[in-house]
Amino acid sequence: MAMLWYAVNTLSGSEEKASRALHQRIEMYELGDRFGRVLVPSEVIVDPKTKRKITRRFFPGYMLVEMSLDNETWHLVKNTPRVMRFVGGSRNPPPVPFNEVERITAMLNDDETPREVLDFEVGEEVRLTEGRYASMRGVVEEINEARGKLRVVINMFGRPVPTELGFHQVEKLTT
């Protein structure tokens, strides 16, 4: 049976612990031939102000598991500590489309050098690169560095629409 990717919901902030617990259970039950990789999509960044290394997760509360789905593997993942549920269905979850998995793995920082976060400023104009407002322009209204989020105001039909985005979802406009 072919291995497909499945999204799994974990306790928020416990993605790495859930991944380690799943690896331990796979070894304990000797099911390594039915499992591939387990990914917690994240990157290491350097905070420009404090110069500290921070691990930023792209999808907090989720991990991706490559596996052959059957009754035994489903129960193994479902009963892993800190794992809540499969995304998309309780008993027969749909696999994550391969093109989506490729997009997520392309976002991962392969080299071990931490990437420096762009230093945004309030009032600065940015372009959205992801989400439902992708390719639109907006103005930074608020910066929450601890969470890696920006509040950007977009003008839509003459009305301001505030939206909260991650640093990786916007890019600075070059003047």
How far apart CA 95 and CA 9 sit, in angstroms, is: 14
User: What does the pLDDT look like over 84-130, one tens digit per residue?
Assistant: 999 987 788 999 999 999 988 887 755 555 555 567 889 999 998 87
Sequence-separated (6 or more) residues with CB below 8 Å from residue 151 = 140, 141, 142, 143, 144, 162, 163, 164, 165
CATH T-level fold of 4-115:
Alpha-Beta Plaits (3.30.70)
Answering whether pTM is above 0.85, one says no
Domain 118-172 sits in CATH 1.10.8.50: no
Q: Which two tokens stand for residue 21?
A: 């617990």
* Tokens 């749909």 -> residue: 94
How far apart CA 20 and CA 18 sit, in angstroms, is: 5
Contact present, 154 and 169 (Cβ < 8 Å) = no
**Domain residue ranges of the chain, discontinuous segments joined by +:** 4-115, 118-172
Q: Which two tokens stand for residue 11?
A: 């306790």
* Res 1 pLDDT > 80: no
